[in-house]
Amino acid sequence: MLDDFSIGKILLILVLVLIFFGPKKIPDIAQSIGKGIREFKKAMSDVSEEIKKPVSDDARSASTKAVDPPSQQNPSAESKSNSELK
């Protein structure tokens, strides 16, 4: 389908666009298309970062849980709380 495009067909399309929109409107259209493409790329990169972020956070937290020693409670604080209950 794309193999059928020749220079003549592309020029015909450009002339039709020029006639339909006019010379003043074409730069605005091109600018709008550029902004749309930039926003789309930014949104795609944000989505891919959000997808990668939880995976890396989960892997990091799993590795730190295995390395961290269990927390030890203060025995004097425990005895105080037990004596207060009695």
DSSP state at residue 4: G
- Which amino acid would we find at residue 26? I
Structure tokens of 55?
């995976």
Instruction: Output the pLDDT for position 59.
Output: 64
Number of domains in the chain: 1
Query: What is the structure's pLDDT at 37?
Result: 97
pTM attached to this predicted model: 0.47
Residue with tokens 């891919």: 48
Instruction: Check residue 81 and give its pLDDT.
Output: 53
Answer yes or no: is 83 within a domain.
no
In a domain, 43, yes or no: yes
What was the pLDDT predicted at 55? 66
**Chain-centre distance of CA 2, in angstroms?**
32
pLDDT tens, position by position, for the chain (86 residues)? 556 778 999 999 989 999 999 989 989 999 999 999 999 999 999 998 888 877 666 666 666 655 555 555 555 555 555 555 55
Give residue 51's domain range: 23-56
